[in-house]
């Protein structure tokens, strides 16, 4: 007994000794590496590119017919940059009530107006979260010495949220026309005079899309090896083509794919990824499948000042692909209602609302929807979307009533159950989980309800996955493991029992 | 039966309108705009009034050319009064307002116009110097602004005056896009144009535009020298005629004129000068041997001169050469000039040494006090027979099979 105690004591001492040593070494090494941190050598030459896009609203110059000197492209683009930057610093000033940057883009006399406003708003704790979404400038005049320009900026779409004491007081979207006189000072085109000449409230008319979805029977798709990284380095058109063949042969007619905001290069779309998306669409077309593209996944900022960047992202994708025959509809955002709590419901809805307007202004043909994560949120913006999408991972018992309520609430707009499924995982982390049979049973029942209610659907998902990135369901192993086995085909490539019920037949 | 129907119809209508009016009076947020003006003049004090039937104090959203704000009201005897802050009341443009109520939307807009009185004539003029001749011009841009730095309304009259020599011109303009502009074309003569402007009895200060001469016309050149001898010592000066542009303006001082001199051996010598009162002077040292020069001057890319031919006479027809110390010391001279005086120092004398028709070396020396003395080093030129060629002032003398020991 004594001996054992002694041994325990010994081993404890030994272990604590090792632990203390390890801590000391770790401490010294981190101190050493901290002291060795210095400026990166290549910063010495200032070769890094300073300009980052922070504000890119849609901007269309009217054809040039200005009085005075003929302008060249280079100067016009400098004016455009500085003019937009002037707007940007103004938005920032009114959002933060701090006038930093104003001096660069407004002349000495003009900046006083903004400084006065900031002081006024600061005194009554007003902040304005605003942005402009569209500009239609016309160059009226460019002086002979190239130092003065006059611009009429027609129909500037201006969005503002006004807060007082941190409470939202008003949300407004206006269409304004401004006349600006700019001077070239110290290499900056600065605003000298600015006059608002017209102003009215702006609401885009809701125009239904030319096409509508009628018989969407599909599946959410990720390649088995690269879930949530479909357009990465391992992108292979052959694999996608093979998978699309399986999907087509299973009696389905469509797939849903995802564009991840950061992955696609944010505002500056990565051309390579866009090309891969196009190849995916080409492959779908070859297999006679339609594609529902989710424009924003893994995105959750929604801050008003970044809207122009988000919109530029969506605009690039939509305008490039809108005429592709495989496109069936645009899904604006995957499960935005999950961000309500962390980002504020009004912020998210306003973002969606404006994003729908943007997509519809570019593509009048294809319908637009939002991939809500449940049936309760699915009525939000129901008048703006062309069809309603919801995801359903709850008990199938209540599905039918949910569908009925949704149908009456949305005045019988087409309804798509855009994601549904069940994991067949039962193991260490979930000993009482579902089996393959349970999953099959779930899909069988789901298909019955779908048939009975004439519902359009896209199930989750074709494959079981090996690796789930932590961004999808977090790090918790019971969630991760469950997420791995939602597929109709398992990791060995064998069709699970549920495959029989993948489609209506 | 028909009458019954009509009655029923009218009754129905009355009923509906009754419901409507009932609804209205039920609405407790019954505010109305009392201020009737929609056009104001920029001022320190502008206010908006609303009628109010209750104690509610809704706020007012206001947005103008530069910014947006929210105002708190003052309630005075059932009138909701909003005093516009100066950052709104002083600036022109359209101002939109919204009364922030929960139930009804009350919105509107009004215009603030500048006070049509000029406080400053914002004037931009450029480019500051232009070329004479009536094709080049400078532009004057005028933005008349009021007391609060607002540009005045369009169609404000602006007079642009400019004076050149005795010509005074006055032209009226009406502002468009809040400014007026005029192109001021250059006269044929160079000089200075004085410009000023006036609007609504307010006069600007004086501005000026320099009119520079246009590109020069072709010109002639002349030269001056002390004598025509090629003594390698005196200097020949070249002069241009007074260089003028096509309107007779003397070109600006400092115009660069370059002289090109082509010699007999097709070597080009260059000299240059800049103009003062239209004349550019340049100098060149005389050659040291008989030569003909062809001279032409250019203002690069713009104008050129006539061609001038100069002849330089030889100063020496012959010179003596003596050998000493085993013929290793060669003395050339005395070199005598045109008056038999010793030639000024610095005349180039060249000896080329050949052996078996192949050149071994060339030695060059400048004359000093009429002589040039060469010493052939025994290490470089061992004892043997050589051929020497001696050149000076354009005269060449050859000694064949000269034996050195």
- Residue A397 pLDDT exceeds 80: yes
Name the band, by pLDDT with cuts 50, 70 and 90, for residue B357.
Answer: confident
- b (16+ CB within 10 A) / e for A484-494: bbbbbbbeeee
- Residues of chain B with Cβ-Cβ distance to A145 below 8 Å are 124, 126-127, 138-139
The answer to whether the CB atoms of B65 and A194 lie below 8 A apart is yes
Residue A249, H or E segment = helix A237-249
The answer to whether the CB atoms of A193 and B67 lie below 8 A apart is no
- Residue B58 pLDDT exceeds 80: yes
* Residues within 8 A of B (CB atoms), A 56-115 only: 67-69, 90, 94, 109, 112-114
Q: Are residues A116 and A247 in the same domain?
A: no
Count structural domains, chain A.
2
**3-state secondary structure at position A277:** helix
* Residues within 8 A of B (CB atoms), A 224-283 only: none
Give the model's pLDDT for residue B19. 46
Give the model's pLDDT for residue A374. 93
Which of the residue ranges A245-254, B45-54, B88-97, B292-301 would you say has the lowest mean pLDDT?
Answer: B45-54
Residue B62, H or E segment = strand B59-63
For B201-253, the pLDDT digits (tens) are 999 999 999 999 999 999 999 999 999 998 888 999 999 999 999 999 999 99
The answer to whether the CB atoms of B124 and A150 lie below 8 A apart is no
Q: Are residues A195 and A221 in the same domain?
A: no
Q: Region B346-362: what's the mean pLDDT?
A: 89
Residue of B nearest to A198 (CA): B94
Q: Are residues A193 and A228 in the same domain?
A: no
Q: Please report, rounded to a whole number, the percentage of residues in chain B having pLDDT higher than 70.
A: 92
Here the tokens at position A268 are: 């500056």
Here the tokens at position A473 are: 């369901």
Interaxial angle between packed helices A73-96 and A108-123, expressed in degrees from 0 to 180 and rounded to the nearest 10: 20
Q: What is the rounded distance in angstroms from the CA atom of residue A289 to the CA atom of residue A292?
A: 10
For A91-110, the pLDDT digits (tens) are 999 999 999 999 999 999 99
How, if at all, do strands B120-126 and B157-164 pair?
A: unpaired
Q: Are residues A63 and A182 in the same domain?
A: yes
Q: Does some domain include residue A38?
A: no
Residue of A nearest to B137 (CA): A144
Name the band, by pLDDT with cuts 50, 70 and 90, for residue B7.
Answer: low
Give the model's pLDDT for residue B71. 93
Q: Are residues A190 and A299 in the same domain?
A: no
Q: Does some domain include residue A257?
A: yes
For A106-117, the pLDDT digits (tens) are 999 999 999 999
- What's the CATH code of the domain at A431? 3.20.20.80
The answer to whether the CB atoms of A198 and B94 lie below 8 A apart is yes
- Residue B22 pLDDT exceeds 50: no
Q: Are residues A256 and A304 in the same domain?
A: yes
Q: Region A166-195: what's the mean pLDDT?
A: 94
Give the model's pLDDT for residue A428. 81
- Residue B3 pLDDT exceeds 60: no
- Residue A184 pLDDT exceeds 50: yes
Q: Does some domain include residue A13?
A: no
Q: What is the rounded distance in angstroms from the CA atom of residue B123 to the CA atom of residue B70?
A: 36
Interface test with B, best of A193, A200, A201 (most B CBs within 10 A): A193
Residue of B nearest to A115 (CA): B87
Give the model's pLDDT for residue B12. 54
Name the band, by pLDDT with cuts 50, 70 and 90, for residue A477.
Answer: confident
Give the model's pLDDT for residue A35. 84
Would you say B333 and B356 are in contact if contact means Cβ atoms under 8 Å apart? no
Name the band, by pLDDT with cuts 50, 70 and 90, for residue A282.
Answer: very high
- Residue A51 pLDDT exceeds 90: no
Q: Does some domain include residue A100?
A: yes
- Residues of chain A with Cβ-Cβ distance to B84 below 8 Å are none
Name the band, by pLDDT with cuts 50, 70 and 90, for residue B135.
Answer: very high
Mean pLDDT of chain A: 92
Would you say A185 and A107 are in contact if contact means Cβ atoms under 8 Å apart? yes
Residue with tokens 């292979």: A236
Quote the minimal CA–CA distance from B391 to chain A in Å.
59
The answer to whether the CB atoms of B100 and A170 lie below 8 A apart is yes
Q: Which domain holds residue A108?
A: 58-201
Q: Region A42-62: what's the mean pLDDT?
A: 78
Name the band, by pLDDT with cuts 50, 70 and 90, for residue B26.
Answer: very low
Sign of CA dihedral A353, A359, A363, A367: negative
For A330-361, the pLDDT digits (tens) are 999 999 999 999 999 999 999 999 999 999 99
Which of the residue ranges A284-293, B40-49, B63-72, B179-188 would you say has the lowest mean pLDDT?
Answer: B40-49
For A2-40, the pLDDT digits (tens) are 677 888 999 999 999 999 999 999 999 999 988 877 767
Q: Region B192-198: what's the mean pLDDT?
A: 95
Interface test with A, best of B61, B67, B181 (most A CBs within 10 A): B67
- Residue B25 pLDDT exceeds 60: no
A150 touching B, CB under 8 A?
Answer: yes
Q: Does some domain include residue A5?
A: no
Quote the minimal CA–CA distance from B368 to chain A in Å.
58
- What's the CATH code of the domain at A132? 3.10.450.240
Residue A167, H or E segment = strand A167-185
- Residue A197 pLDDT exceeds 60: yes
Backbone angles phi, psi at B311, to 5 degrees: -115, 135
Q: Are residues A183 and A265 in the same domain?
A: no
- Give B196 or A412, the one with higher predicted confidence: B196
Give the model's pLDDT for residue B17. 47
How, if at all, do strands B167-174 and B137-145 pair?
A: unpaired
A25 touching B, CB under 8 A?
Answer: no
- Residues of chain A with Cβ-Cβ distance to B143 below 8 Å are 181, 193
Domains and CATH numbers, chain B: 32-113 (2.60.40.10), 120-212 (2.60.40.10), 221-312 (2.60.40.10), 321-404 (2.60.40)
**Shortest CA distance to B255 belongs to which of B271, B239, B223, B277?**
B277
Q: Are residues A126 and A81 in the same domain?
A: yes
Q: Does some domain include residue A46?
A: no
Question: Which neighbouring-strand residues pair with B403?
Answer: B385
Would you say B123 and B134 are in contact if contact means Cβ atoms under 8 Å apart? no
Q: Does some domain include residue A1?
A: no
């Amino acid at each position: 007994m004594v001996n054992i105690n002694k041994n325990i004591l010994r081993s404890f001492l030994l272990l604590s000794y090792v632990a203390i040593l390890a801590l000391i070494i770790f401490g010294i090494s981190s101190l050493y590496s901290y002291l060795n941190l210095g400026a990166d050598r290549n910063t010495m030459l200032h070769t890094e590119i300073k300009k980052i896009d922070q504000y890119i609203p849609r901007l269309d110059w009217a054809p040039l017919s200005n009085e005075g000197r003929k302008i060249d492209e280079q100067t016009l683009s400098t004016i455009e940059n500085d003019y937009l930057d002037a707007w940007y610093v103004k938005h920032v000033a009114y959002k933060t009530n701090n006038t930093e940057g104003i001096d660069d883009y407004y002349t000495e006399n003009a900046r006083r107006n903004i400084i006065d406003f900031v002081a006024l708003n600061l005194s009554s704790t007003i902040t304005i979260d605003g942005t402009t979404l569209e500009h239609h400038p016309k160059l009226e005049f460019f002086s002979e010495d190239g130092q003065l320009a006059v611009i009429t900026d027609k129909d500037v779409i201006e969005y503002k949220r006004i807060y007082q004491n941190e409470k939202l007081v008003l949300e407004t979207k206006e269409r304004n026309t401004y006349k600006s006189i700019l001077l070239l000072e110290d290499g900056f085109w600065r605003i000298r005079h600015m006059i608002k000449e017209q102003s009215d409230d702006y609401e885009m008319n809701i125009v239904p899309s030319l096409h509508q979805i009628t018989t969407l029977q599909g599946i959410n798709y990720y390649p088995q090896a690269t879930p949530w990284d479909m357009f990465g380095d391992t992108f292979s058109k052959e694999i996608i083509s093979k998978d699309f063949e399986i999907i087509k042969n299973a009696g389905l007619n469509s797939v849903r794919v995802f564009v991840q905001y950061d992955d696609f290069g944010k505002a500056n779309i990565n051309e390579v990824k866009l090309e891969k998306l196009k190849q995916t669409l080409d492959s779908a077309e070859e297999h006679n499948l339609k594609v529902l593209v989710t424009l924003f996944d893994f995105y959750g900022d929604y801050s008003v000042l970044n809207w122009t960047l988000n919109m530029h992202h969506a605009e690039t994708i939509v305008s490039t692909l809108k005429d592709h025959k495989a496109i069936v509809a645009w899904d604006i955002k995957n499960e935005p209602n999950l961000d309500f709590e962390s980002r504020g419901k009004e912020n998210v809805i306003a973002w969606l609302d404006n994003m729908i307007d943007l997509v519809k202004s570019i593509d009048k043909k294809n319908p637009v929807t939002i991939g809500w994560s449940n049936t309760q949120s699915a009525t939000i913006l129901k008048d703006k979307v062309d069809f309603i999408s919801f995801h359903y991972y709850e008990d199938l018992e209540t599905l039918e009533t949910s569908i009925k309520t949704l149908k009456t609430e949305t005045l019988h707009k087409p309804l798509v159950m855009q994601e549904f499924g069940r994991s067949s995982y039962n193991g260490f982390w979930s000993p009482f989980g579902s089996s393959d049979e349970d999953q099959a049973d779930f899909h069988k029942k789901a298909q019955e309800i779908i048939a009975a209610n004439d519902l359009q659907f896209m199930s989750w998902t074709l494959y079981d996955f090996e690796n789930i990135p932590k961004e999808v369901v977090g790090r918790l192993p019971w969630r991760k493991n469950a997420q791995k086995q939602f597929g109709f085909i398992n990791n060995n490539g064998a069709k699970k029992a549920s495959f029989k019920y993948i489609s209506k037949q | 039966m028909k009458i019954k129907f009509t009655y029923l119809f009218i009754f129905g209508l009355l009923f509906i309108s009754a419901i409507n009016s009932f609804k209205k009076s039920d609405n407790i947020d019954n505010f109305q705009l009392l201020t009737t003006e929609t056009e104001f003049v920029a001022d320190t004090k502008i206010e908006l009034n609303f009628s109010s039937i209750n104690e509610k104090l809704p706020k007012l959203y206001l947005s103008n050319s530069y910014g947006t704000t929210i105002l708190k009201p003052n309630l005075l005897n059932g009138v909701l009064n909003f005093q516009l802050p100066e950052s709104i009341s002083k600036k022109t443009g359209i101002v939109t307002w919204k009364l922030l109520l929960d139930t009804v939307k009350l919105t509107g807009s009004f215009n603030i116009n500048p006070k049509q009185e000029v406080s400053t004539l914002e004037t931009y003029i450029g480019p500051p110097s232009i070329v004479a001749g009536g094709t080049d011009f400078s532009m004057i841009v005028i933005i008349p602004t009021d007391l609060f730095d607002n540009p005045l309304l369009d169609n404000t009259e602006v007079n642009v005056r400019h004076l050149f020599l005795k010509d005074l011109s006055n032209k009226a303009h009406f502002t468009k896009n809040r400014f007026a502009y005029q192109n001021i074309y250059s006269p044929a003569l160079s000089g200075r144009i004085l410009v000023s402007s006036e609007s609504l009895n307010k006069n600007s200060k004086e501005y000026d535009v320099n009119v520079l001469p246009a590109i020069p016309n072709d010109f002639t050149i002349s030269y001056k020298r002390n004598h025509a001898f090629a003594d390698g010592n005196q200097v020949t000066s070249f002069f241009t005629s007074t260089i003028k542009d096509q309107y007779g303006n003397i070109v600006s001082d400092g115009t660069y004129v370059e002289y090109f001199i082509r010699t007999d051996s097709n070597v080009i010598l260059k000299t240059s000068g800049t103009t003062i009162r239209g004349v550019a002077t340049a100098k060149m040292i005389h050659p040291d041997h008989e030569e003909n020069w062809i001279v032409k001057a250019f203002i690069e890319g713009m104008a050129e001169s006539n061609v001038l031919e100069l002849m330089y006479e030889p100063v020496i027809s012959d010179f003596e050469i003596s050998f000493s110390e085993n013929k290793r010391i060669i003395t050339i001279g005395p070199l005598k000039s045109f008056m038999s005086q010793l030639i000024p120092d610095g005349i180039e004398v060249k000896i080329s040494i050949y052996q078996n028709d192949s050149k071994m070396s060339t030695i060059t020396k400048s004359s000093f006090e009429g002589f040039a003395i060469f010493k052939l080093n025994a290490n470089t030129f061992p004892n043997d027979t050589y051929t020497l060629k001696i050149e000076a002032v354009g005269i060449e003398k050859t000694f064949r099979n000269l034996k050195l020991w």
